[in-house]
Amino acid sequence: MRVLIKGAGVAGLTVALELARRGIEVDIVEPANSVASGASGLAGGMLAPWCERESADEAVLTLGKTAADWWEEALPGQVIRHGTLVVAAGRDTGELTRFAGRTSGCDWLDGPGIQALEPSLAGRFRKALFFRDEAHLDPRKALVGLYQVLLDRGVPFHFGCKPEDVAGRFDKVIDCTGAAAIGRAAGLRGVRGEMLFLETSEISLSRPVRLLHPRIPLYIAPRSDNRFMVGATMIESDDAGPISARSLMELLNTAYALHPAFGEARVVEMGVGVRPAYPDNLPRVTVDGDIISVNGFYRHGFLLAPAMAGQVAGILTHSIPNRERHCA
């Protein structure tokens, strides 16, 4: 069997690896010139199924619990298993109780417990939730890593091309084009997400930190070289234009609320990505003849892509019925 995968984002690359592992011949076509040029390269990279369960369906937890293991097997050494810390300002501590009541898998920490995990936050917060079984990775490094793994397996990439430019006959086409399918896929809508990269040597974090706020919850995910990704807004729009002044101020103000040293950080990058979502905010694998579509990852791309890739592989190897599969 020969399969053409359209799209070299996190969905396309995870599907490609699952198929290649099963001996299926795969080609990948990508209209951009690299694997990290789309919305996948702007992701937070948090493998946080318990945190995401607070505002998502149980399926996000059920299917996301194995994501860290999948990524560790695919890219040894890239997954950082330091958990997730969730904090709130003193006046918003009720948000922590609400958050904990909507999910599981967390421990309550007091001020000394927070300091033991993140010395930079000493004295900043009185209470926190610690999700010790969660993990994170750097999405851009992960995308490049999967690209190299697939190259080593002999998978051809066709960058800057259209599907019709790829020679040969294909038995199946896997459409992993994400937001590009908005308007073509029934029910698919765009959710705009905005992010910043801040650079400062005044703060050190070992894990993603989520700051609960009644209006704009924020996460800060540590990267290498004293950089931190700050995100992410969720705006019901498929506008991919530059970040808005309001969002920029909200992200910066909330980062400052986490630690005042972020007020002196350098803004080294701003990004906007349109994330595809179905009405239930869960991804789907849909089958239409020889075309299989994988889409609707909303804000759960790196968390749920491995599970959905496994569903695609199951359909092609006949271990899963050839019909529409929801994230359930």
Assess contact for 48 and 134: CB atoms under 8 A: yes
Tell how far CA 166 is from the center of its chain: 29
Burial 130-166 (b: 16+ CB within 10 A, else e): bbebbbbbbbbebbbbbbebbeeeebebbeeeebeee
N-to-C CA span, the chain:
27
3-state helix, strand, coil in the chain (%, to 5): 35, 25, 40
Rounded CA separation 136/281 (Å): 21
Rounded CA separation 1/24 (Å): 6
Specify which residues 306 forms β-bridges with: none
Rounded CA separation 47/68 (Å): 6
Assess contact for 197 and 269: CB atoms under 8 A: yes
241: left (phi over 0), alpha (psi -120 to 50) or beta: beta
Q: Sketch out the chain's domains with CATH numbers.
A: 2-45+138-186+279-326 (3.50.50.60), 84-132+189-277 (3.30.9.10)
Backbone angles phi, psi at 152, to 5 degrees: -65, -25
Q: Of 81, 89, 76, 70, whose CA–CA distance to 17 is shortest?
A: 70
Per-residue pLDDT of the chain (328 residues; tens, 9 = 90+): 999 999 999 999 999 999 999 999 999 999 999 998 888 999 999 999 999 999 999 999 999 999 999 999 999 999 999 999 999 998 889 999 999 999 999 999 999 999 999 999 999 999 999 999 999 999 999 999 999 999 999 999 999 999 999 999 999 999 999 999 999 999 999 999 999 999 999 999 999 999 997 777 789 999 999 999 999 788 999 999 999 999 999 999 989 999 999 999 999 999 999 999 999 999 999 999 999 999 999 999 999 999 999 999 999 998 666 544 444 4
pTM recorded for the entire structure = 0.94
